[in-house]
Structure 1
Amino acid sequence: MVRIVLDAGHGGKDSGAVGNGLREKDLTLNIVKKIGNLLAEYEGVEVHYTRTDDRFLELSERAAIANKLKADYFISVHINAGGGTGFESYIYNGQVSAATVAYQNVIHQEIMKAIGNVKDRGKKRANYAVLRETNMPAILTENLFIDNANDAAKLKSEQFLQQVAYGHVQGIVKAFGLKKKVNSQPEQKPPGGKLYRVQVGAFANRENAERLAEELKKKGYPVYIAE
């Protein structure tokens, strides 16, 4: 069992960075909940949160929660500010395990792949309390800049926040070798028991049909190809 602690940066009286009508504490909570929902589709993973609502927690409390749970990994999600643009990730700048470095490499890469045309600000190190005080490998992600108009436009999109979450999850999946649950996406039948199927399109070329089917399957839709 892999035990993951998800930490939504800031909260309560601490709004974090603000800009363009957005507050960091709201975005981070939104993203970690999305991460948790996606991780629920995998076997052998236990997800915990430092907060699931708008409350204030000291940095040391966040680390203490993870330490008490004896977590295998700690992820603190943040939104940047200061006039830049793009994504960056941090691990502790003191002595860290080889696993800490390896996990950062994998997770950073997967997030960059998931969020698309965004500047890669690099894999960094810092003396942040949640990285210093946690007893397990830990990472802190800074997901775009709230005070940059272009970044903020992306952060206002639920689809983009889902991509951010997806990148975090794919990194965790690869780092820890997680497997999808066999029936993680069961077909949802309405109370009447009827299931209505929608045909997306017809293709003269089977390869094109299979390509679309694969894309839909990745998004969790039940798909089959009929001739």
Structure 2
Amino acid sequence: MKKLTFFVFVVCGVLIFLIYAKKINVPNKTDKRTAAKATEVTVSNKDKVEKVRIEIDPGHGGVDTGAQITADGTVTYEKTLNLKLSLYLKTELEKYQGVTVSMTRKTDKNISLKKRVEKAKKDQADALISIHHNAKGSIVNAKDGAYVLVASGNEKENLAQEEEQLGANILNRISELGLKNRGLLRRLSENRNTYRNGRLCDYYAIVKGGINEDMIAIIIEHGYMDNIDEFQSYFSSDEKIQEMAEKDAQGIADYFHLLKDSHKAARATIKKNIKITTVKDPKGKDNTYQTRSYQLSVNQ
């Protein structure tokens, strides 16, 4: 009888322990991996993003005029064009639900590149988008078309891939106006500076700053100011600049799956092949080129 009582006591104790263990649900290594994977899916599912913070950075400003062109007797500075397009872009983005837009500058003043990144970080931006216009130089053999400058992936490769995806969406939209899609451009440090992992840093301070701050940070080069035909076609009037800003906004909205009203928009998935240029020296002698296919989700 004593043996039977002891056996019942042991069985009851085991049952109580199992019930308690189930309640506290102590995770094992497999649980941790599953939980991490679920978190990644939630974060990457742009349909679940309810609020997005965008920091627009009008490039140059103040004594830093950027590129320039004289057309019909009037000098236009890049800094002015960048600011005008940025203000239009802010207005266009604010037409979408759940979007908060901040700017690194709203007037003609010079701000250091470091402070631009710091401002975006302070504003908790999901993306820092720097607005520029190009001019012919030595790093690439081009005199027209649009580029988006992104991180190399030498540090935080996943973040760099998100920049590529955003850039591909924007290029897809602005090319609808007829502007040539020159693709994505990476540029590596020319003074051998490295990230903490020992790999070469990105050259552009905005892009490098974004990587250091765990934030998407890209630069859009909206065609060449010193190409008179391109300038006249896309930047010579407020109406044309506003149209370009609208395409920028559409590309950003495509990436973040933003909507203008409460009705779910029809969405198409398209495949785009985008050229990627990697610049390794200021003369562009050792550039490498590749083409990558991107799946873009486009609002109809």
- What is the Cα deviation at residue 111 of structure 1? 1.8
1:88-126: CA deviation from partner (whole Å, max 9, x where unpaired): 11102243413222212212211212xx22222221112
**Alpha carbons 2:168, 2:183 under 8 Å: kept:** no
Paired residue type of 2:218? I
Q: 1:165 aligns with which of 233, 237, 245?
A: 245
1:47 is displaced (CA, Å) by: 0.2
Tell me the alpha carbon deviations over residues 11-58 of structure 1, each in whole angstroms, 9 at most, x when there is no partner.
011111111221000000000100100111111110000000001001
1:148 corresponds to 2:227: yes
TM-score (norm 2): 0.58
Matches within 5 A, 1:28-67: 28-67=82-121
Match of 1:117 among 178, 201, 206: 178
CA distance in 2, matches of 1:36, 1:174: 16
Letter in 2 for 1:179: L
Decide which structure has the larger Cα Rg and report it: 2
Structure 2 distance, partners of 1:163, 1:153, is: 14
**Does residue 132 of the first structure (1) align with residue 208 of the second (2)?**
yes
Give me the whole-angstrom Cα distance separating, in 2, the residues matched to 1:2 and 1:46. 6
**Distance in 2 (alpha carbons) for counterparts of 1:92 and 1:159:** 32
Q: Equivalents in 1 of 2:172, 2:178: separation in Å? A: 13
Indicate which of 87, 90, 95 corresponds to 2:146: 87
SS in 2 for 1:141: strand
Q: 1:25 aligns with which of 69, 79, 92?
A: 79
Instruction: Check whether the contact 2:171–2:181 (CA below 8 A) recurs between aligned residues.
Output: no
Preserved CA contact (<8 Å) 2:172 2:181: no
- List gaps (5 residues or longer) in structure 1: 183-217, 219-227
Query: Cα RMSD between the aligned structures?
Result: 1.6
Identity %: 33
Amino acid in structure 2 at the alignment position of 1:4: I
1:106-159 Cα distance to aligned partner (Å, 9 max, x none): 12211212xx22222221112210111022112111111111111221311222
* CA distance in 2 between partners of 1:122 and 1:40 (Å): 27
Q: Which runs of 5+ in 2 are unaligned?
A: 1-50, 138-142, 188-202, 263-299
Asked whether 1:5 is paired with 2:59, we answer no
- Distance in 2, Cα, partners of 1:146 & 1:90: 17
1:111 maps to a residue whose letter is I
- Alignment-mate amino acid for residue 148 of structure 1: N
| 1:197-208 to 2 correspondences below 5 Å | none
Which has the larger share of strand? 2
SS in 1 for 2:168: helix
